Structure 1
């Protein structure tokens, strides 16, 4: 069986890796390089070489999750990863004194934790069991009635920055998704996250390097998917045609809608319910958005301003140098910019949860499959990998590589 995979992001490449050897596959990628939202920039800062991530940059330091299982299957071990504290400093725009400062290794004992720390901790401790994905975060906020500063500058600011939405929209997001990212904020010890020393894009290269029966074509944007007698034909922008038996659309929802063959119009309905916003990032050398006092710096520094919230990630904990990755969608760029890029951030509202269920009912029909973090979860790497596992189980259930990854 020949499988056509559109998109060489992590979900497309993991799908190819899982069916490789059981099927002949071809991966068509519009860009000139693989990786999708995993985009890394190699550089040398303060005498230290490193690969700095513009897009996806970290995963939970959880050895039981899909990402950890994939790294182990690819032979990535402790030499290639570093665990760092996921600490946060929250500040309101126009002020200099942080409102909340998380614990961070090496932070001087005299540094305060900010006026909102105890109130944020009381809110998170006062919650009951994690609600269902259909419950909006606003339903969690309402009965506990946190102070506006707690709500807007911390509880809603962090997810607003992660998903690129206005702070006022966060109450519409799925409550479990929001709470997953608030986990550990204001704790006595910051949780740990895992960073690849070679950058997240190196994971895409590792997957591609292990493919044997799969062809990868970059600079091959798919223009349309045509129904054929025994499957489909993928036609790229240059007019080249590729006949396949089954198709995996491992692309963002708007692209998937555009490529849907006329014979399978149904999935367009749920795909159009997914919403996203552009979020622009910059790698830079000046600490433009961090507190003036270095003792207050955290791994993630969140500033709420003008109805939005944006984060600046300090690479010191992971790379040992003062390089910063900052969101600059709604604020002036820093002075010493090394690279920039723009990504589409999924807005995980409860409507998106419904759309995911509706799309799941179309998976595999007429030999058409959908992969990507939007199909299975909140928009992280584990969601993307889990989506690929689900697709591969339908296409090549006998794949031995499936045994190395947890079932979705």
Structure 2
């Protein structure tokens, strides 16, 4: 069977790699780079070269089992990553340090203010609520509604809960407060942040995520077509037609759309009503990160520098700036700090290395409900969908989604040419 895969992020490359063992596969990527959010940049600092990840950065084996198994299968080397959090205000007054209960207890400076005790008590209660989420009525409510109904303190919300969620998702404060509670608990659990005991050991990939993407794509180089912008996918009872801006139309037996949900919907020439409803329920936001060496965005006390540095503004508009210390996260020792900052205009232009833009789907109630409809459109009319948006947006979700599509393609005896549930 001839199969087209559109989109060369981790889910697209993995799906193409595994399908290519049994089928004639073509993998189309609009840009000249594979990997999607797995992006490694080589930076020169005072004559030294460093490779840093600006998209996907860290994982842990207990919560990323399929992704970890894939790295083992590929023989990709990993190293322990330092994961720590500092929250500060513009005054500058250090509010909080640590990512887990154990971190908070270990940090003596936390005990100097009553705010710490209030935050600590709220965190213990929040973890208990998470452990019994089915019993506390969270399915239909947002984080904002939940914390208000349960009486959580503003200090806990703004000094711990929102910063830690922002660290692992790169979402803004307003977006986090509108998160559906199942997503909140799933994200925190995926990062080991709902444990009373020691959190999981975090890992990063030696040489950057490019190392594993190169190995993942190695067996299918002949299948990969970079700079191939797919503008339309037209389906007939017998074939799938892939159309390009300035290239001849190509014909396939099936197509795997490994793009963002809204992009998949956009290129379908004749989406069904169900495809419109499900794929159209996923909303996306652009995130612009700046790679730089300007240490002024970090805490004034170098001892307080963490892997994740969250800064509250005093403007009263809810804006926050978030900075990753890529040296700490990647186990590097550059002569100047290598930092990746989101949502800050305070970076000196002379220190800017490069800006990056990533699109991430919004984890809202609509997307949570839409995910339940995947089986209704996957495999219908010779069309399959995969990507991290079918889960919580992480690499683990991308891998699980890709392998689910591969299994469905392999075991589907005949194509269903009519939409399930009507047209």
Report if TM-score (shorter chain) is over 0.5: yes
Distance of 1:316 and 1:185 partners within structure 2? 26
The one of 74, 80, 83 equivalent to 1:83 is: 80
Q: Give 1:297 deviation, angstroms.
A: 0.8
Deviation at 1:285, TM superposition (A): 1.6
Indicate if the aligned counterparts of 1:56 and 1:200 stay in contact, CA closer than 8 A.
yes
Residue 370 of structure 2 corresponds to 355
- Which residue, out of 302, 313, 329, partners 2:343? 329
Is the 1:103–1:187 Cα contact (8 Å) retained in structure 2? no
Could you tell me which of 176, 197, 202 is aligned with 1:170?
Answer: 176
What SS is found at the alignment partner of 2:223? Answer: strand
Q: Is the 8 A contact 2:85 2:98 kept in 1?
A: yes
Shift of 1:119: 2.9
The residue aligned with 2:324 is 313
CA distance in 1, matches of 2:269, 2:40: 34
- Normalized per residue, which structure has more helix? 2
Contact 1:371 1:391 in 2 (8 A): yes
Once residues 173 and 107 of structure 2 are traced to their aligned partners in structure 1, the CA distance between those partners, rounded to angstroms, is 32
Q: Cα deviation per residue 1:358-385 (whole Å; 9 max; x = unaligned)?
A: 233211111111111112x111111111
CA distance in structure 2 between the partners assigned to 1:185 and 1:88 by the alignment = 15
Distance apart, 1:265 and its partner CA: 4.6
Does the aligned pair in 2 maintain the 1:134–1:350 contact within 8 Å? no
Q: Distance in 2 between matches of 1:394 and 1:24?
A: 16
Partner of 1:137: 143
Specify every segment of 5 or more residues in structure 1 that has no aligned partner in the other structure, as ranges: 399-408
Which segment is superposed worse, 7-16 or 143-152?
143-152
Deviation at 1:149, TM superposition (A): 2.5
Q: Do the aligned residues in 1 keep the contact of 2:64 with 2:396 (CA within 8 Å)? A: no
Alpha-carbon distance between aligned partners in 2 of 1:66 and 1:373, rounded to the nearest angstrom? 13
Contact 1:38 1:56 (C-alpha < 8 Å) held by counterparts: yes
C-alpha distance in 1, partners of 2:43/2:175? 37
TM-score (norm 2): 0.83
Q: How do 1:7-156 and structure 2 match up within 5 A? A: 7-45=7-45, 49-62=49-62, 65-76=65-76, 80-92=77-89, 94-102=90-98, 112-113=109-110, 115=113, 116-126=115-125, 127-128=128-129, 129-131=131-133, 134-135=139-140, 136-156=142-162
| Change beyond 3 A, Cα 1:188–1:266 | closer
User: 2:147, 2:381 → 1: CA distance?
Assistant: 43
Change (3 A) 1:296 1:151: same
Give the structure 1 partner of residue 294 of structure 2: 286
Give the alignment's Cα RMSD to 1 decimal: 2.9
- Where 1:243 maps in the other structure, the secondary structure is strand
CA distance in 1, matches of 2:99, 2:148: 28
Bigger mean CA deviation after superposition, 227-236 or 248-257: 227-236
Give 5+ residue unaligned stretches, structure 2.
101-105, 413-423
* More deviation, 144-153/132-141: 132-141
Bigger mean CA deviation after superposition, 143-152 or 186-195: 186-195
Q: CA, structure 1 residues 183+137, in 2 after alignment: closer, same or farther (shift >3 Å)?
A: farther
SS at match of 1:99: strand
Checking the alignment, whether the CA contact within 8 Å between 2:58 and 2:204 is kept in structure 1 is yes
Structure 2 CA distance, aligned partners of 1:358 and 1:131?
23
In structure 1, C-alpha distance between the alignment counterparts of 2:107 and 2:11, rounded to whole Å: 45
1:229 deviates by: 4.8
